Structure 1
């Protein structure tokens, strides 16, 4: 779904795929083809959603719709910046890698040269100190 859909439609496409698959599972002739059958359903759902989005964008959209994300208040941003500044470097680094850059635990561990358990422990301590 992440490959075929717009990023905002991925969860909806997966959910619709599971509903469709559960309704039509009796039509599946061979269990060996289950994966490819499911992928076809996902692709069809993504295409259906994309067509729906095109139809929606051709209409007039009301400008009163709120943005999906609102910026955090200035006071909170300043407080977070101050908390990050006083963190020891190894805690600050792991927080930035995981929570800002979005690296996985395995990627973070590899870049820091740590074991996975040590990475998890360090990340937990960093988050506790930030709180």
Structure 2
């Protein structure tokens, strides 16, 4: 709850909502590299390694308001759920890793909101890339 006092001394109370484009909420100590001067913003995370046959979880820890929606791509192609690939919220689960799944995975987080009162909703995006290496 916010309180504001007018110039006449009246106290007004209300709630404040703030819009926020997608941002990453990485754990402390995470290794990443932000690509400068790129639109939409792009962050490159640490290389993820797995062994063939293992389960691999790729996290997309994005926050924002309104809540961002995430989709995944591998080497620029959209990833659809399959018997080996599941979505868990914004995260991607590879239930049984295979060497053919090596590549660059990108979480693309989107939300939209107006930039000014009563304005049109504008799209906002963040890309989080992770290279995946699966050893056989």
| Bin for the TM-score computed over the shorter chain | under 0.3
Higher strand share: 2
Q: Normalising by structure 2, report the TM-score.
A: 0.19
Higher helix share: 1
Identify the structure with bigger relative contact order (alpha carbons < 8 Å, sequence gap 6+).
2
Q: Greater CA radius of gyration, 1 or 2?
A: 1
